[in-house]
A = this chain, B = another copy of it.
Amino acid sequence: MGAPGDGRAQPPMTSTTGTVFRVTTFGESHGPAVGAVVDGCPPGIPLGPEAIQRQLDRRRPGQSPLTTRRDEADRVEVLSGVFEGRTLGTPIALLVRNRDADASPYESMRHVYRPSHADYTVDARYGARDWRGGGRASARETVGRVAAGAVAREVLRHLFGVEVVGWVDRIAGAQAQVDPGAVAEAEVDAHPTRCPDPGAAASMEEAILAARREGDTVGGVVAAVARGVPPGWGEPVFDKLHADLGRAILSIPACKGFEVGSGFGGAGMRGSEHNDGFYMEGDRVRTRTNRSGGVQGGISNGEAILVRAAFKPVATVFVPQRTVTDAGEEVELRATGRHDPCVLPRAVPVVEAMIALVLLDHALRRRAQVG
């Protein structure tokens, strides 16, 4: 059965990301609280709890019939790092209490490894696990990401004029048609699917509700654009801008693939067709096409940054599944609890948050040593 229960001390998990703008999230799904500490935020940035709350509201459960019925108000409290309405440059501690944390549906599953969840692997790695709602491996951990990402978004907007917009691009067979140069958050939020293409949105909603009716779930693709990023963000060797974006987005629960610019489609092209020719627009270097997705050699080139992320279908389904327990017995699992039939609409603010964290970190790294 591997490591669980062998009585040895086990390694801890790491919950920090970033180099200059660093975020540590904390909290278990059914513990007292979740949250984040943001270390490395520039001082002097206007910041109130509303900007953070707004993003948490876009992520929170219970916001539409397409999401889980767990009802969390997810009110954020800012414990430090802000004084007289502006950031101090000191750590910003962000706290969200867990309120509607009912662990009872998990009691019967505490020894069962749910298929395609992290139950087995967390046991294999740590030998200790809060089984209530997935504990630390729950997507509830993303509350801290979204809160910290909201801070990053404010700094990006205030210091650099950068904005990040994500949307649901594909669910089941429905592919949205979206202009990344123009799409606005209001259009995204106009439909509970968070797809700004109304026709595709309607098909997506149907697909989600059909899956829910059958006790099943669906996956899909989130796309996002960052507009206003100047040339020169990114490190050219290991910490390429798109590599760090990829890592950040792939670390979101259920994400299985990542593309920048032409992505897998570009792999089928020829160089003469794929290259983005330069031209001058006034005194600004521009490219005629944007197959690079705004990143060349790992560094932003001033064009819109375009990424796509593949999300697998939610692992909790209400059809019976064969699986095993932590004692090595094969059993049939009939899941209960409150779950999303499709994670995509709530994943949009999480993807945006991760993009904001990476962009701001690189923006601040880029500023290092600029005299």
Contact = CB atoms under 8 A, between A and B. Distances in A.
Interface in A233-289: 233-240, 242-244, 246-248, 250-251, 253, 256-264, 266-280, 283-285, 287
A231 B28 CA distance: 23
A115 interface: yes
A310 B267 contact: yes
A369 B266 contact: no
B270 A262 contact: no
Contacts of A117: 296-297
Given A1-B283, A26-B39, A170-B267, 18 more contacts: A1-B285, A8-B371, A9-B159, A12-B43, A14-B237, A20-B368, A24-B37, A26-B81, A27-B93, A37-B37, A88-B130, A121-B298, A136-B237, A137-B236, A221-B267, A238-B247, A246-B258, A257-B264
Contacts of A319: 272
A70 interface: no
Copies in the complex: 4
Interface residues of A, number: 162
The 4 closest A-B pairs by CB, nearest first: A118-B297, A247-B247, A121-B299, A217-B271
A62 interface: no
Given A368-B364, A371-B9, A277 B91 contact: no
